[in-house]
């Protein structure tokens, strides 16, 4: 296990850091709210609105995980479990959707 | 543990306060607890992951109905709640920060603030749920407000429903909300059923787009909204009800996690007040913090996925 | 060294201070945090569930003795096979090796005093009891008839049985297995004794680690799925019933996302036990340690990518089916690696055919058949013919009974002297191991033929021309039942009359054999320091191979 972990006082970004992350999160929320009124689906491509909103959500999640949840200073095992859980979620999404997206191709298509 | 084991053990090792017998030292204990908590969070992620999969499947197949339904969630309350949770996450992170510093008073203050914001979140949730209850948007029959103005209106209900689905395309959010209010007024729901009286603006918008020669409906929608080639409001309503079902299950389970979190906080508050935590021993604060941030992260995703779909259909549908 | 002393001292005695003598009150058991006592309570609980599930199995086989629907009505038959499945899978197979043998041995094998989170361990037992009690209550009220798979919309809308109560029982029980898995992962990461590096861990521990991964990543998904099912059934609205716009195939996706990996929860620990048995009873360092260790992890990971092979004829996309079919072939590779390595370990080993080894050899044969027929069922074309026939039934019984149950029994016999401090009767042990093997094959091999000929599963009646093979199967089941009941008798007998086993009755190098039998509450007098590789046989490990060869004359009753 890594030894950089758990040195008292090292495992966080300090007072201004917390407020910086907080400011980013608040900005992200407000930005998500207003960006949802732009018609990106029409101007760019269908799903662009959702993609943008999810990208912001991912960014916010990363901030919370790295700094509020101290993953940045944590041993590799913690990094691994955080990444692995998202990876497994991706497996579940991708393989389930691979069924739905390809179901009407080929012989069954109208 | 038994008396025997403890006395037997003390001959070999000095025990730090809070150190359990199976560990050699505090570092090992902290590492174990933190990995354990993360494993718990991994399982929580997969737990919500099942719901997100269900959401993904239905959303990708019936995006129009989902957008239609989502427009009737109040994005203001949703956004406010997101901010409230973010603030509570900050205070929680600061509680851990002060626990590490051994600052008891600030610890207690931060935990109290976290609890206040958590409770605020739940309060807003109650307001939202009440609104859904009053307007017949709870997907379960009998769980909505039962309104019975008089028998005549009850008899006339089917006709009105039909009319509701023939609203013209609404171009602006102002017009949309006006239309909603207009139709909220003669609301009759004697059995407390799930009702959808707010038209099919998003669907119409898509049909309008399709006239431009561009395929806009998904293959599932071409089957899922029509009966014998005709638009079927009941089938459209079924998909909208699925959105509300997913909405209630997701936010309900999230709220349940918040309530459990508040329980944890109360215990933490009591322990912090007694000065249990300091630079050597703050694992409970840190672990509760991880849980709290996790619940926050779930909401960070729920907010855009549930509240913000297809708002542009109403706001900027100018093409 | 301790081992030498144990061999030299002639008649071993049971140590006075051990985990069993540390308190005799009911409270000292129910509130214990000792992983060994929790394992014993698990052992008793899952044995009860195994017997209940076994009774249902007997009812099924008796009904199928004749082509007509005579002993049970069709409706009762539906309930009987459903409850057989639910009890055996969720309440016996899944907790069997992890919660009993894993719980007892994992901390000892890595040289720890206890699991990392003992209170969580006790909590998992109570959750198991709670889920079990709810399920048993539902079964007594009238049971459930959906099949253990709870397919929608039958389970959400049409079934008139206690789906919700059983579903909630399984939901609750799921958290027991999540907490066990969580505890194991933490323990293996943080509690290893000095010198116990990752590649000195016994392969049983690696297998438990892989199993725990599956438990943590998969079980929550079944929990939420069953919860959604219960909500849908309770309120009449949901996402699974097509009549109200739902999608039954989504249920199957979510269900099998867990339940296919759950198959690996049910066989990986068994593979871990077999790795121990094969190496130790061949008295030879296991061949390809790293390959076996990593193949466990590979099975755990690839196991999550193949669930669609349960849904080939459900209406799933054929293109997704092709991917799932291909990956099913891929997941067979790590299992095959294990089989080859075990065979290579046997080669030129000095094999002793003790009861656990008989089980291990039985496992290799049965799992080979079970695994290969799995490939038949994983190929998209053939499965159209075989879906929902007795071929499937036979296949998964070969994997689960021929794999996990046999491995569990083998492991239980192997570690019985460590757990209780006493030897069972080797004679009766061997007889019962052989009866189980013969009875099992007689029961399930005819079912491959029946399935191939087209006999569908889940029916109480069948065409008369299938009767001969069904009689074979029922006859085999009787033999199998005798084989399962015998250990119950002679193991109980050994508790009171068995010869004290001594610390290391098999004369093996593993860490669990270097403490007393039964072990003291904190497992070791002082924390052991590991200086040897896993499965290192030889003088330097304190083992006299010659003495081990002539061991039979010492320990056999």
DSSP letters, B192-238, are: ------S--HHHHHHHHHHHTT---S-HHHHHHTEETTEE-HHHHHH
In a domain, B312, yes or no: yes
Helix (H) or strand (E) holding C276: helix C248-282
In a domain, B316, yes or no: yes
CA atoms C113, C118, C122, C127: torsion sign: negative
d(Cα C442, Cα C473) in Å, to the nearest integer? 6
Residue numbers of the domain that contains C176: 2-191+203-555
d(Cα C196, Cα B171) in Å, to the nearest integer? 70
Closest Cα in chain C to B47: C220
User: Are residues B75 and A33, on separate chains, in Cβ contact within 8 Å?
Assistant: yes
d(Cα C351, Cα C342) in Å, to the nearest integer? 13
Report the CATH number at residue B89. 1.20.120.80
Residue B16: CB atoms within 10 A of its CB come to 12
User: Are residues B22 and C112, on separate chains, in Cβ contact within 8 Å?
Assistant: yes
Closest Cα in chain C to B221: C245
Number of residues assigned to chain B: 319
Question: Which one is predicted more confidently, C470 or A38?
Answer: C470
Phi and psi angles of residue A73, each rounded to the nearest 5 degrees, phi first = -100, 10
Q: How many domains does chain C have?
A: 1
Question: Which one is predicted more confidently, C443 or B3?
Answer: C443
Residue B214 makes CB contacts below 8 A (sequence gap 6+) with: none
> Which ranges of B274-307 does DSSP label H, i.e. alpha helix?
283-302
Q: Which of B49, B82, B94 sits opposite A89 (nearest CB)?
A: B49
Instruction: Mark which residues 165-194 of C lie under 8 Å from A by CB.
Output: 189-190
Place of tokens 């094959």: C441
User: Are residues C237 and B194, on separate chains, in Cβ contact within 8 Å?
Assistant: yes
Instruction: Mark which residues 41-60 of A lie under 8 Å from B by CB.
Output: 41-42, 46, 49-50, 53-54, 56-57, 60
Contact C339, C368 (CB under 8 A): yes
Report the CATH number at residue C397. 1.20.210.10
d(Cα C203, Cα C291) in Å, to the nearest integer? 10
Phi and psi angles of residue C199, each rounded to the nearest 5 degrees, phi first = -90, 10
Contact C253, C314 (CB under 8 A): no
User: Are residues C317 and A77, on separate chains, in Cβ contact within 8 Å?
Assistant: no
Q: How far is CA A94 from the centre of its chain?
A: 16
Closest CA to A99 of C312, B146, B48, C155: C312
From residue C80, how far is each of A59, C76, C85, C425, C466 by CA, in Å? 51, 6, 9, 35, 21
Mean pLDDT of C325-343: 95
pLDDT of residue C537: 82
Residue B99 makes CB contacts below 8 A (sequence gap 6+) with: B107, B272, B277, B278, B282, B285, B286
Q: Token pair for residue C204?
A: 């049983």
Mean pLDDT of A85-109: 85
Distance from CA of C446 to the nearest CA of A (A): 35
User: Are residues C318 and A107, on separate chains, in Cβ contact within 8 Å?
Assistant: yes
Optimal mutation site among B3, B21, B50, interface C, most CBs of chain C within 10 A: B50
Name every chain C residue with its beta carbon within 8 A of the beta carbon of B287.
none
Q: Where is mean pLDDT largest: A48-57, B5-14, C15-24?
A: A48-57
Residue A110: CB atoms within 10 A of its CB come to 6
Stretch among A38-47, C123-132, C261-270, C306-315 having the lowest mean pLDDT: A38-47
Residue C200 makes CB contacts below 8 A (sequence gap 6+) with: C530, C532, C533, C534
Instruction: Mark which residues 28-87 of A lie under 8 Å from C by CB.
Output: 77, 84-85
Q: Is the pLDDT of residue C150 over 70?
A: yes
Distance from CA of A69 to the nearest CA of B (A): 6
Could you tell me the pLDDT band of residue C551, with boundaries at 50, 70 and 90?
Answer: low
Those chains having 3 or more beta-carbon pairs within 8 angstroms of chain A are: B, C
Quote the mean pLDDT of chain C. 91
Those chains having 3 or more beta-carbon pairs within 8 angstroms of chain C are: A, B
pLDDT of residue B177: 52
Name every chain A residue with its beta carbon within 8 A of the beta carbon of C323.
95, 98
User: Are residues B46 and A88, on separate chains, in Cβ contact within 8 Å?
Assistant: yes
Residue A74 makes CB contacts below 8 A (sequence gap 6+) with: A5, B34
pLDDT of residue B16: 54
Q: Judging by beta carbons within 10 Å of its beta carbon (0-12, 13-18, 19+), is residue B230 exposed, middle or buried?
A: exposed
d(Cα C49, Cα C42) in Å, to the nearest integer? 11
Return the C-alpha torsion angle B229, B234, B235, B237, nearest 10: 140
Contact C543, C551 (CB under 8 A): no
Note whether A100 contacts C: Cβ–Cβ < 8 A. Answer: yes
User: Are residues B100 and A11, on separate chains, in Cβ contact within 8 Å?
Assistant: yes
Closest Cα in chain A to C321: A99
Stretch among A64-73, C3-12, C458-467, C511-520 having the lowest mean pLDDT: C3-12
Closest CA to C442 of C481, C492, C499: C481
> Which ranges of A36-75 does DSSP label H, i.e. alpha helix?
40-43, 48-63
In a domain, C375, yes or no: yes
User: Biggest alpha carbon distance in chain C?
Assistant: 75
Rg (CA), chain A: 19
pLDDT of residue B167: 39
d(Cα B133, Cα B130) in Å, to the nearest integer? 5
Distance from CA of A60 to the nearest CA of B (A): 7
Among left, alpha and beta (phi > 0; psi -120 to 50; other), residue C519 is beta
Contact C250, C240 (CB under 8 A): yes
Closest Cα in chain B to C113: B22
Could you tell me the pLDDT band of residue C451, with boundaries at 50, 70 and 90?
Answer: very high
User: Are residues A81 and B38, on separate chains, in Cβ contact within 8 Å?
Assistant: yes
Contact C222, C251 (CB under 8 A): no
Q: Is the pLDDT of residue C400 over 70?
A: yes
Contact C399, C374 (CB under 8 A): yes
Contact C143, C162 (CB under 8 A): yes
Optimal mutation site among B32, B71, B93, B302, interface A, most CBs of chain A within 10 A: B93
Question: Which one is predicted more confidently, B258 or A49?
Answer: B258
Complex ipTM? 0.91
Report how many helices (DSSP H) and strands (DSSP E) chain B contains, helices first. Answer: 12, 2
User: Biggest alpha carbon distance in chain B?
Assistant: 87
CA atoms C101, C105, C106, C109: torsion sign: negative
Note whether A95 contacts B: Cβ–Cβ < 8 A. Answer: no
Among left, alpha and beta (phi > 0; psi -120 to 50; other), residue C454 is left
What one-character DSSP code corresponds to residue C422?
A: B
Name every chain B residue with its beta carbon within 8 A of the beta carbon of A36.
75, 304, 308, 311-312
- Side-chain-side CA neighbours of residue C88 (13 Å): 21
Phi and psi angles of residue A106, each rounded to the nearest 5 degrees, phi first = 65, -130
d(Cα C76, Cα C145) in Å, to the nearest integer? 8
Name every chain B residue with its beta carbon within 8 A of the beta carbon of C254.
50, 53-54
In a domain, C316, yes or no: yes
Closest Cα in chain B to A26: B83
Stretch among B111-120, C51-60, C537-546 having the lowest mean pLDDT: C537-546
Distance from CA of B3 to the nearest CA of A (A): 32
Among left, alpha and beta (phi > 0; psi -120 to 50; other), residue B275 is left
Q: How many domains does chain B have?
A: 1
Q: How far is CA C310 from the centre of its chain?
A: 21
pLDDT of residue A6: 42
Closest CA to B79 of C541, C38, A53, C69: A53
Residue numbers of the domain that contains B209: 38-319
Residue B288 makes CB contacts below 8 A (sequence gap 6+) with: B92, B261, B264, B265, B268
Contact A12, A73 (CB under 8 A): yes
In a domain, C77, yes or no: yes
In a domain, B29, yes or no: no
Name every chain C residue with its beta carbon within 8 A of the beta carbon of B245.
237-239
pLDDT of residue A11: 57
Note whether C317 contacts A: Cβ–Cβ < 8 A. Answer: yes
Question: Which one is predicted more confidently, C547 or C529?
Answer: C529
In a domain, C383, yes or no: yes
Residue C449 makes CB contacts below 8 A (sequence gap 6+) with: C469
Query: How does pLDDT run along chain B (319 residues), one tens digit per residue?
Result: 334 444 444 344 444 567 888 888 888 898 999 999 999 999 999 999 999 999 999 999 999 999 999 988 999 999 999 999 999 999 999 999 999 888 899 999 999 999 999 999 999 999 999 999 998 899 998 888 888 765 444 443 444 444 444 333 444 445 555 555 544 445 688 888 898 888 888 888 888 888 888 778 888 898 889 998 899 999 999 999 999 999 999 999 999 999 999 999 999 999 999 988 888 888 999 999 999 999 999 999 999 999 998 777 765 444 3
User: Are residues B56 and A69, on separate chains, in Cβ contact within 8 Å?
Assistant: no
Residue C545 makes CB contacts below 8 A (sequence gap 6+) with: C283, C350, C537, C538, C539
Note whether B33 contacts A: Cβ–Cβ < 8 A. Answer: no
In a domain, C396, yes or no: yes
User: Are residues C218 and B235, on separate chains, in Cβ contact within 8 Å?
Assistant: no
Name every chain B residue with its beta carbon within 8 A of the beta carbon of C238.
245
């Amino acid at each position: 296990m890594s030894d950089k972990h758990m040195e008292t006082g090292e495992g966080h970004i300090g007072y201004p850091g917390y407020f910086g992350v907080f400011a980013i999160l608040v900005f992200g929320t407000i930005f998500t709210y207003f960006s949802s009124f732009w018609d990106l689906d029409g101007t760019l491509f269908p799903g662009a609105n959702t993609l943008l909103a999810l990208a912001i959500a991912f960014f916010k999640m990363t901030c919370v995980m790295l700094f509020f949840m101290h993953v940045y200073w944590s041993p590799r095992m913690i990094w691994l479990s955080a990444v692995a859980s998202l990876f497994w979620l991706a497996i579940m999404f991708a393989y389930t959707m691979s069924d739905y997206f390809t179901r009407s191709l080929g012989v069954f298509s109208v | 543990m038994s008396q025997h084991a403890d006395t037997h053990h003390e001959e070999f090792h000095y025990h730090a306060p809070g150190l359990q017998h199976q560990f050699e030292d505090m570092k090992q204990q902290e590492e174990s607890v933190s990995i354990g908590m993360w494993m718990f969070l991994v399982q929580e992620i997969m737990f919500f992951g099942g719901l997100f999969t269900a959401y993904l499947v239905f959303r990708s197949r019936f995006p129009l109905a989902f957008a239609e339904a989502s427009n009737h969630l109040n994005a203001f309350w949703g956004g406010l709640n997101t901010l409230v949770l973010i603030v509570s996450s900050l205070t929680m992170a600061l509680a851990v920060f002060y626990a590490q510093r051994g600052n008891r008073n600030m610890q207690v203050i931060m935990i109290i603030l976290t609890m206040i914001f958590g409770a605020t979140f739940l309060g807003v949730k109650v307001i939202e749920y009440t609104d859904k209850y009053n307007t017949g948007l709870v997907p379960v029959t009998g769980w909505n407000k039962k309104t019975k103005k008089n028998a005549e209106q009850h008899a006339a209900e089917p006709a009105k429903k039909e009319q509701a689905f023939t609203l013209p395309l609404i171009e602006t959010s102002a017009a949309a909300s006006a239309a909603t209010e207009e139709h909220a007024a003669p609301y009759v729901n004697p059995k407390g059923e799930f009702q959808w009286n707010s038209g099919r603006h998003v669907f119409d918008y898509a049909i309008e787009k399709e006239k431009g020669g561009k395929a806009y409906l998904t293959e599932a929608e071409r089957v899922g909204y029509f009966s014998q080639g005709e638009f079927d409001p009941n089938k459209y309503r079924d998909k909208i009800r699925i959105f509300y079902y997913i909405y209630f299950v997701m936010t309900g389970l999230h709220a349940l996690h918040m309530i459990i979190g508040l329980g944890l906080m109360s215990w933490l508050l009591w322990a912090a007040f007694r000065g249990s935590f300091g630079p050597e021993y703050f694992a409970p604060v840190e672990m509760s913090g991880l849980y709290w941030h996790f619940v926050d992260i779930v909401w960070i995703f729920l907010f855009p996925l549930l509240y913000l779909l297809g708002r542009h259909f109403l706001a900027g549908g100018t093409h | 060294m301790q081992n030498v002393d144990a061999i030299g001292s002639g008649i071993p005695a049971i140590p006075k201070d051990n985990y069993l003598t540390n308190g005799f009150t009911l409270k000292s058991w129910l509130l214990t945090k000792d992983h060994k006592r929790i394992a014993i309570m698990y052992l008793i609980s899952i044995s009860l569930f195994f017997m209940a599930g076994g009774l249902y199995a007997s009812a099924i086989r008796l009904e199928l003795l004749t082509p007509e629907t005579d002993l049970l009505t069709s409706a009762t038959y539906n309930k009987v096979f459903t409850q057989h499945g639910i009890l055996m899978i969720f309440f016996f197979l899944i907790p069997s090796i992890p919660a009993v043998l894993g719980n007892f041995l994992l901390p000892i094998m890595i040289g720890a005093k206890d699991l990392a989170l003992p209170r969580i361990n006790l909590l998992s037992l109570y959750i198991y009891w709670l889920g079990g009690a709810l399920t048993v209550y539902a079964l007594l009220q009238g049971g459930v008839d959906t099949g253990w798979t709870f397919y929608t919309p039958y389970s959400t809308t049409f079934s008139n049985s206690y789906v919700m109560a059983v579903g909630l029982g399984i939901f609750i029980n799921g958290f027991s297995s999540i907490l066990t898995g969580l505890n194991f992962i933490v323990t293996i990461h943080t509690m290893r004794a000095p010198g116990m590096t990752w590649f000195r861990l016994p392969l049983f521990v690696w297998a438990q680690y892989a199993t725990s991964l599956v438990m943590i990543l998969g079980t929550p998904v079944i929990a939420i799925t069953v919860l959604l099912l219960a909500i849908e059934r309770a309120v009449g609205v949901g996402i699974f019933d097509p009549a109200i716009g739902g999608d039954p195939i989504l249920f199957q996706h979510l269900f099998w996302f867990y339940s296919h990996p759950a198959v690996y929860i049910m066989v990986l620990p068994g593979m871990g036990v077999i790795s121990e048995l094969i190496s130790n009873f061949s008295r030879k360092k296991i061949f390809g340690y790293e390959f076996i260790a990593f193949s466990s992890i590979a099975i755990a990971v690839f196991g999550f990518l193949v669930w669609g092979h349960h849904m080939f004829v459900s209406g799933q996309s054929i293109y997704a089916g092709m991917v799932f079919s291909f990956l099913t072939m891929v997941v067979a590779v790590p299992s095959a690696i294990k089989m080859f390595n075990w065979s290579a370990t046997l080669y030129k080993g000095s094999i002793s055919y003790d009861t656990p080894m008989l089980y291990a050899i039985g496992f290799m044969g049965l799992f080979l058949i079970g695994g290969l027929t799995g490939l038949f069922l994983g190929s998209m074309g053939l499965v159209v013919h075989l879906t929902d026939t007795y071929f499937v039934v036979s296949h998964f019984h070969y994997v689960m009974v021929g794999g996990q149950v046999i491995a569990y029994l083998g492991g239980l016999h192997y570690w019985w002297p460590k757990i209780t401090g006493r030897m069972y009767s080797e004679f009766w042990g061997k007889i019962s191991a052989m009866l189980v093997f013969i009875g099992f094959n007689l029961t399930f091999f005819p079912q491959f033929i029946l399935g191939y000929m087209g006999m569908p599963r889940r029916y109480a009646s069948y065409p008369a021309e299938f009767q001969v093979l069904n009689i074979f199967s029922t006859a085999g089941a009787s033999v199998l039942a005798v084989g399962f009941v015998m250990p119950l008798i002679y193991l109980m007998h050994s508790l009171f009359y068995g010869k004290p086993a001594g610390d290391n009755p098999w004369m093996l190098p593993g860490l669990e054999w270097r403490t007393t039998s039964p072990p003291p509450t904190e497992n070791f007098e002082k924390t052991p320091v590991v200086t040897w590789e896993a499965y290192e046989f030889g003088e330097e490990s304190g083992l006299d191979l010659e003495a081990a060869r002539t061991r039979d004359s010492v320990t056999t009753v």
